[in-house]
Amino acid sequence: MNDLLIRGATVYDGTGAPGRVADVAVKDCRIAVSGPARKTVDAGGLALMPGIIDVHTHYDAQVTWDPKLSPSPALGVTTAIMGNCGFGIAPCPQRLRETILRNLSVVEGMDVEALLTGTRWDFETFPQYLDALERIHPYANLGVLAGHSTIRSAVMGEEASSRKLPTADELQQMQDVVRGALKAGAVGFASSFSPNHSGWGGRPMPSTICEDAELRALVAPLKEAGKGVFVVAAGSKATPEYLEQMAADTGRPMFMVTVLTMHTDSAPDRAMTYYERCAQALARGHEVYIHANCQPLSFDFTLREPYPFMALGAFDRVKAAKAGELPAIYADAAFRREFRDSLRNPRPGVLFSGDWSKVEIDGVPLPQLAAGRDPVDFFCERPLETQMIAKLFQNDDAGVAPLLRHSAGVIALSDAGAHLIYFCDAGFGLHFLAHWVRDNGTFTLEEGVRRLTSDPARKYRIPGRGEIRPGAWADLLLFDPQKVGLSNLRRVKDMPAGGTRMIREPLGVHGVWVNGVQVHDGQDYAPLERGPGRVLREFGR
């Protein structure tokens, strides 16, 4: 007797094969041969696909107080990879807990009081963290990347953000941590060179100041283990050629994350050159991929928390300032001169490089509001709490579609769990199905499903997930292709310490199952005593 039978849906199995009407059975957490079941779901007229795999999330702290991993499972995600950009919470000696969380709050746009109040510490090492995740029983499957900045902090302490060179002993310790993490079941190793990544008090995140020799030493354990991936927030340093050399040295897949691979009107051809250079590496047998963002990258912000501008040199003063000091900084003529200089010579990979037409207040572009005044002066004179939006990347479908179709990309970059003050992109998969499949036809439904499921599973070496076939894990998403999508953004006050965040709800979703257990019915989470998600520790070579 099977545990579950989903009857009469059009099944898109994740391989790219055309959909076909079929019954899908589940037994003991896996897809089984169809037959009688204890529970039957009538799914006539609906589509059934494997659960969405989100390889770029930041739930590392949230999962310790929220096993539901809200809102991702509600939005069709059944497997999430954490620890991206090298920012996690393990390993972490007790004395460094506050440092790690304060850095995380800034670099990933999280409520610091929510982190300090909500994070539950019953681990110090990376293997202990994986064990803790298993005790939490999350609603979705979780894989964790060992994080460079976190490891550097654990070994070098407070100097991790200021001292470029570790001692020989410290480098050996960091290597040993990576080896231990891979042995315990890490997905791989992650780092960041991004100029946009600063921590508490304006200090650089530790990995962003490291030398080449350190990074290569910490990637080397991937070759020793013969498994694992490397993921880097690349900035301008980790070019496709740089990563291809690492792929050749280690034999492991490399993934890059950078705004340089996103479409922008100011440099419309730049992103495709990155994809083509990765394609050339792939043709030479070296796996170099790009995290491809299928949603417009926009930031809601204020002068109190001007995240899109933080990588500009002038804003070092803003990053280090206390709240009461900000009005004087913005009024300072010297600051404004430095701000203009930063925009005349922006560093590669910064979020904002001077196109003020992309910055809006109440839907009106800032140059129009400034009415001929210098936009820097007008910008700096806004009240600190004025809500603005910067529409910076991936806002032109004609420019984005070729990037999403490219074989060197993996549909990703939801940043789920992070930047909750500004946006919620955790529903990237439902947006993809609605916008890129149904509304503009860039992808067929069968190909769209493949790009959200078996494609990331294959590239990240996640076994048994991303397909509907006998023996595969029963991660499933039941939906109406004509109605699937996302609600508008909604602010909720449900974080620890009374913090708020932005969330979205699913549209057209009729059920989400993780390892054969329903976690969401399209309206609400299932009231489970323990979540069915697995901590993923075994990955293919």
Residue 412 in any domain: the answer is yes
Model pLDDT for residues 172-204, shown as the tens digit of each residue: 999 999 999 999 999 999 999 988 888 888 889
Same domain, 435 and 372: no
**Bridge partners, 229 (sequence order):** 188
Q: Is the pLDDT reported for residue 529 higher than 80?
A: yes
pLDDT of residue 284: 98
For residue 208, the enclosing domain spans: 51-296+394-462
Instruction: Check: CB of residue 164 under 8 Å from CB of residue 104.
Output: no
Same domain, 322 and 206: no
Q: Is the pLDDT reported for residue 1 higher than 90?
A: yes
Q: With pLDDT > 90 as the criterion, what percentage of the chain qualifies? A: 84
Instruction: Check: CB of residue 104 under 8 Å from CB of residue 89.
Output: yes
C-alpha–C-alpha distance, residues 131 and 12, integer Å: 34
Same domain, 186 and 314: no
Residue 80 in any domain: the answer is yes
Model pLDDT for residues 139-157, shown as the tens digit of each residue: 999 999 999 999 999 999 9
Same domain, 126 and 101: yes
Q: Is the pLDDT reported for residue 311 higher than 90?
A: no
Cα dihedral sign for 483, 488, 489, 490?
Answer: negative
Q: Is 358 helix (H, G, I), strand (E, B) or coil?
A: helix
Q: What angle do CA 45, 140, 108 make, to 5 degrees?
A: 115
Cα dihedral sign for 383, 385, 388, 393?
Answer: positive
Average pLDDT along the chain: 95
Q: Which residues of 302-317 are buried (b: 16+ CB within 10 A; e: fewer)?
A: bbebbbbbbbbebbbb
Residue 282 in any domain: the answer is yes
Number of domains in the chain: 2
Same domain, 271 and 411: yes
Please state the pTM of the whole predicted model. Answer: 0.92
Radius of gyration of the chain (CA): 23
DSSP result, 148-194: HHHHHHHHHGGGGGT-SPPPHHHHHHHHHHHHHHHHHT--EEEEE--
Q: Which residues of 504-518 are buried (b: 16+ CB within 10 A; e: fewer)?
A: bbbbbbbbbbbbbbb
Q: Is the pLDDT reported for residue 448 higher than 90?
A: yes
Residue 18 in any domain: the answer is no
pLDDT of residue 267: 86
Q: Is the pLDDT reported for residue 350 higher than 90?
A: no
Same domain, 282 and 329: no
The mean per-residue pLDDT over the stretch 463-469 comes to 98
Instruction: Check: CB of residue 424 under 8 Å from CB of residue 468.
Output: no
468 φ, ψ (degrees, to nearest 5): -105, 105
Q: Which of 414, 437, 462 is the last residue of a domain?
A: 462
Q: In the Cβ-directed half-sphere of 384, how many Cα atoms lie within 13 Å?
A: 13
pLDDT of residue 498: 94
Residue 258 in any domain: the answer is yes
> Which residue in this structure is represented by tokens 């991790």?
160
Same domain, 211 and 246: yes
> Which residue in this structure is represented by tokens 């009729």?
510
pLDDT of residue 299: 78
Q: Which of 445, 462, 479 is the last residue of a domain?
A: 462
> With 0-12 CB in 10 A as exposed, 13-18 as middle and 19+ as buried, what is 249?
middle
Q: Is 267 helix (H, G, I), strand (E, B) or coil?
A: coil
The mean per-residue pLDDT over the stretch 89-112 comes to 93
Residue 195 in any domain: the answer is yes
Cα dihedral sign for 55, 184, 229, 48?
Answer: negative
Same domain, 309 and 406: no
Q: Is the pLDDT reported for residue 349 higher than 80?
A: no
pLDDT of residue 167: 98
> Which residue in this structure is represented by tokens 């060197």?
408
Encoded amino acid at 481, one letter: P
Q: Which of 435, 462, 489 is the last residue of a domain?
A: 462
Same domain, 261 and 341: no
Confidence of residue 391 (pLDDT cuts 50, 70, 90): confident
Same domain, 155 and 226: yes
Instruction: Check: CB of residue 361 under 8 Å from CB of residue 339.
Output: no
pLDDT of residue 378: 97
Does residue 253 have a cis bond before it (omega within 30 degrees)?
no
Residue 15 in any domain: the answer is no
C-alpha–C-alpha distance, residues 396 and 532, integer Å: 39
Model pLDDT for residues 219-255, shown as the tens digit of each residue: 999 999 999 999 999 988 899 999 999 999 999 999 9
Q: In the Cβ-directed half-sphere of 51, how many Cα atoms lie within 13 Å?
A: 35
Q: Is 138 helix (H, G, I), strand (E, B) or coil?
A: coil
C-alpha–C-alpha distance, residues 221 and 178, integer Å: 7
Q: Is the pLDDT reported for residue 105 higher than 80?
A: yes
Same domain, 318 and 170: no
**Measured between alpha carbons, how far is residue 368 from residues 133, 362, 364 in Å?**
50, 12, 7
pLDDT of residue 316: 87
Same domain, 184 and 289: yes
What is the CATH number for 241? 3.20.20.140
